[in-house]
Chain A
Amino acid sequence: MAKTYRATVGFACPADAESLKKWHAGKKDDAKTMTVKKGDKVVPYNEAIEKSWLANGVVEEVK
């Protein structure tokens, strides 16, 4: 089951797996993005985006 995280800063990223795929393919203008406010609870939609959130230090795990 996917972990739930809390945003430690405001952040933005591709909105779903399909958009992330477009992002990686260089079609960034076609990709939907989501903006998360500091303190919002978020659940990663796949492993790649979870890794990216953690690498950028934008989330902490909700205990």
Chain B
Amino acid sequence: MAKFSSKDVGFALLGPYNILGAISKFDDTVELKLNETYALGEADESYWSSGAKNTQITQEGWYDDAVGQLHQAFVGASSLPVLGLPLSIAPHGNTNAARIDTYPSVQRVGYTVQMATSEVTKAQARYGLWYGKRETYIVHALGAETTAGSTDPLDVHPYVTNTSNGGAVVLHVTALSGCATCTITVRHSTDGITWADKQAFQALAPSDVTNGTALAGQYITLTSTMNQYWSVAWTYGTPATPNVTFMVGVYRAP
């Protein structure tokens, strides 16, 4: 099994929070639930799975207390919501078309501070989910955009075929300022020339990012056609000096 060290990891995002510590260690355990389907008198045991999974991720390491980082999310501003947000980890780096692990919605969170020295904290965080991870590809690497635009010319081409199995798109916005709202739309294409709007994420305001609402981390399930080429377009409402930092990933169901 391939191993990835801290320097390889492009980001670890929980909603709008970058939870990658100065040093972090991630462990994930996925359980697939089985139910017995045999009755008294049957010769062999047989089992059935609903597909429901229970995922537990444990993260241990050193964190600083900067805004938007894990320690601030869990302790510095304890009123900030961290539940129901998607979690994405990029072991192959923060580049377009790189594969990332996305967990649709974190439902249980535990955080234990082990020791703290000035601005650095050693802590353990635990995330629980009722879903397995999704094999997702980056179509807009985590980065800032200051003018409305799109990644159409980039040709982010993570897949070699078109499918009609559906999937999902995930958005993490880590910073937004200088405008009233920002709308981010995911597009796809069969040929990399004509781009059809596939899904628009719900528009979000700067306060959604600072307050860590569900709009700053969106996971939307999609149906039907999922093409080979993917791009992202973004627009601003009432822009003055707009600046948005975000990441978008696409998951296609097998």
With both beta carbons as reference points, the residue of chain B lying nearest to A33 in the complex is identified as B152
The residues of B that contact A11 with a CB separation of less than 8 Å are 187, 194-197
The residues of A that contact B153 with a CB separation of less than 8 Å are 28-29, 31, 33
Interface mask (B188-225 → A, CB under 8 Å = 1, otherwise 0): 01110111110000000000000000000000000001
The residues of B that contact A12 with a CB separation of less than 8 Å are 150, 152, 187, 194-195, 233
Q: How far is the CB of A53 from chain B (nearest CB, A)?
A: 6
Q: How far is the CB of B161 from chain A (nearest CB, A)?
A: 14
Interface mask (A7-46 → B, CB under 8 Å = 1, otherwise 0): 0011111100000100100001101010100100000000
Contact count A vs B, C-beta below 8 Å: 52
Interface mask (B148-187 → A, CB under 8 Å = 1, otherwise 0): 0010110100000000000000000000000000000101
A56 & B155 in contact (Cβ 8 Å cutoff): no
With both beta carbons as reference points, the residue of chain B lying nearest to A23 in the complex is identified as B193
Give complex CA distance A62, B233 in Å.
27
The residues of B that contact A52 with a CB separation of less than 8 Å are 191, 193-194
* In the complex with contacts A28-B153, A29-B153, A14-B193 CB distance below 8 A: yes
B105 is an interface residue with CB less than 8 A from chain A: no
* In the complex with contacts A10-B185, A12-B187, A56-B196 CB distance below 8 A: yes
With both beta carbons as reference points, the residue of chain A lying nearest to B155 in the complex is identified as A28
Q: How far is the CB of A8 from chain B (nearest CB, A)?
A: 8
The residues of B that contact A9 with a CB separation of less than 8 Å are 196-197
Beyond A13-B193, A13-B194: 16 further Cβ-contacts under 8 Å? A10-B196, A11-B195, A11-B196, A12-B194, A13-B195, A20-B193, A28-B155, A29-B153, A35-B233, A49-B194, A52-B193, A53-B194, A55-B190, A55-B191, A56-B194, A58-B196
A/B interface sample: 21 pairs, CB < 8 A: A9-B196, A9-B197, A10-B196, A11-B187, A11-B195, A11-B196, A11-B197, A12-B150, A12-B152, A12-B187, A13-B195, A28-B153, A31-B153, A33-B153, A49-B193, A52-B191, A52-B193, A55-B194, A56-B190, A57-B225, A58-B196
